[in-house]
Amino acid sequence: MDKMYTLPIEIVEVSPRDGLQNEKIQIGTGDKVSLIERAIEAGIRRIEVTSFVNPRSVPQMADADDVCAALPVRDDVTYIGLVMNQRGADRALATGRIDQLGAVCVATDTFAMANQGQTSNGSVDVAKAIIRSAQAAGKSAQATIAASFGCPFEGEVAEDRIAGMAHELAQANPAEIALADTIGVGDPSHVTRLITKVKAAIGDTPIRVHFHNTRGTGLANVWAAIGAGAHTIDASIGGLGGCPFAPGAAGNVATEDVVYMLNRAGIETGADLDALIETNKWLTEIMGKELPALVAKSGGFPAPANPQNSIDKKEETA
Ligand code: ZN
């Protein structure tokens, strides 16, 4: 197998932010914090915990400060706060609990105007300023290029455009640059081409990928991304997710489905599949609806030893 498939892969859990932001029912702060605690219990070490945006635009994220105040104190976990502008960056840094800012720029002007009220180039400038303010505060920042594989308003996005944006962002020295398939239109061959092109444009800056499974290509895209040299994958427990400003956007690739695939392929993620499946069941209750993820419905393979069965057996033989 290609040597890319022998390296460990880092999962960034995005359910507390991308997973929940588009959900109609307001999830309580306590439940959001429980979700974060469960992700940590399951072995995830980097979590997008909230976003610092206008609560009128994204009411689900109105409790960003309260979520941060309740985060478990852990030296070994990196908490990411998503921000769209300097005001959001200042708010995130003021909590004292955010380790890494998540800056977002958008590949097309129409989507950039809908998402954050600026041009595409303007969003790159703002993202660079956000990265630098994180660094000035002794923190790090990641950068995401939304609509890297296609735009809900403008359609196809030129690969050279994404490579150019990534090159610009790399000048600010972010922890990594993510290619986001915000509306889930990418295919594995596109993923391989784009990552190869972006890698050539950004040198040593690591690449993260962010896939939505809108059209069922999510896991295939994850596999292609790893083969092309991405080592960090955004994923959301239960496969929740969506974007309020991108018509038709559906869930992120599901953490448990990604972890199952990678575990079976012998790729280390540090995540515990059984704990993720338990969290899926808990989250299903909280959301009051079936979640898009698949593995929790069927269980892992081989099936884990069921402690309840062995207790029953003991009682029978006793
Ligand atoms: Zn997303």
- pLDDT tens for residues 181-201? 999 999 999 999 999 999 999
Least confident residue range of 49-53, 171-175, 176-180, 299-303 = 299-303
Mean pLDDT of 33-61: 96
Mean pLDDT of 41-54: 97
Mean pLDDT of 278-293: 95
Q: How far is the CA of 144 from the centre of ligand 1 (A)?
A: 10
Q: Is 80 exceeded by the pLDDT of residue 1? A: no
Give the H/E segment covering residue 11: strand 10-13
Mean pLDDT of 163-177: 98
Mean pLDDT of 165-190: 97
Residue 243 a catalytic site member: yes
Q: Which residues of 21-46 are buried (b: 16+ CB within 10 A; e: fewer)?
A: bbeeeebebebbbbbbbbbbebebbb
pTM for the structure as a whole: 0.94
Q: How far is the CA of 302 from the centre of ligand 1 (A)?
A: 31
Q: Is 50 exceeded by the pLDDT of residue 306? A: yes
Q: How far is the CA of 94 from the centre of ligand 1 (A)?
A: 25
Give the H/E segment covering residue 168: helix 159-170
Q: What pLDDT, on a 0 to 100 scale, did the predictor assign at position 3?
A: 80
User: 272 versus 247: which is more confidently predicted?
Assistant: 272
Q: Is 80 exceeded by the pLDDT of residue 50? A: yes
Q: Is 70 exceeded by the pLDDT of residue 248? A: no
Least confident residue range of 92-96, 169-173, 249-253, 255-259 = 249-253
Mean pLDDT, the chain, integer:
93
Least confident residue range of 199-213, 233-247, 249-263 = 233-247
Please report which confidence band the pLDDT of residue 244 belongs to, taking 50, 70 and 90 as the band edges.
confident
Q: pLDDT tens digit string along 97-119?
A: 999 999 999 999 999 999 889 99
Q: What pLDDT, on a 0 to 100 scale, did the predictor assign at position 308?
A: 57
Q: How far is the CA of 184 from the centre of ligand 1 (A)?
A: 9
Mean pLDDT of 152-176: 98
Answer for the pair 16, 50: CB distance below 8 angstroms, yes or no: yes
Q: What pLDDT, on a 0 to 100 scale, did the predictor assign at position 316?
A: 47
Q: What pLDDT, on a 0 to 100 scale, did the predictor assign at position 305?
A: 64
How is residue 258 written in tokens?
């990604």
Q: Is 90 exceeded by the pLDDT of residue 247? A: no
Q: What pLDDT, on a 0 to 100 scale, did the predictor assign at position 313?
A: 45
Give the Cα separation of 252 and 160 in Å (integer): 25
Q: How far is the CA of 172 from the centre of ligand 1 (A)?
A: 23
Q: Is 60 exceeded by the pLDDT of residue 317? A: no
Q: Is 70 exceeded by the pLDDT of residue 249? A: no
CA 278 to chain centre: 20
**Residues with Cβ–ion distance below 5 A, ligand 1:** 18
Q: What pLDDT, on a 0 to 100 scale, did the predictor assign at position 310?
A: 46
Q: How far is the CA of 213 from the centre of ligand 1 (A)?
A: 10
Q: Is 50 exceeded by the pLDDT of residue 177? A: yes
Give the Cα separation of 231 and 269 in Å (integer): 10
- Catalytic member of 68, 105, 151, 243: 243
Answer for the pair 207, 179: CB distance below 8 angstroms, yes or no: yes
Q: How far is the CA of 17 from the centre of ligand 1 (A)?
A: 9
Q: What pLDDT, on a 0 to 100 scale, did the predictor assign at position 242?
A: 73
Percent over 90 (pLDDT), the chain: 87
Q: Is 90 exceeded by the pLDDT of residue 22? A: no
Q: Is 80 exceeded by the pLDDT of residue 38? A: yes
Q: What pLDDT, on a 0 to 100 scale, did the predictor assign at position 197?
A: 98
Give the Cα separation of 4 and 225 in Å (integer): 10
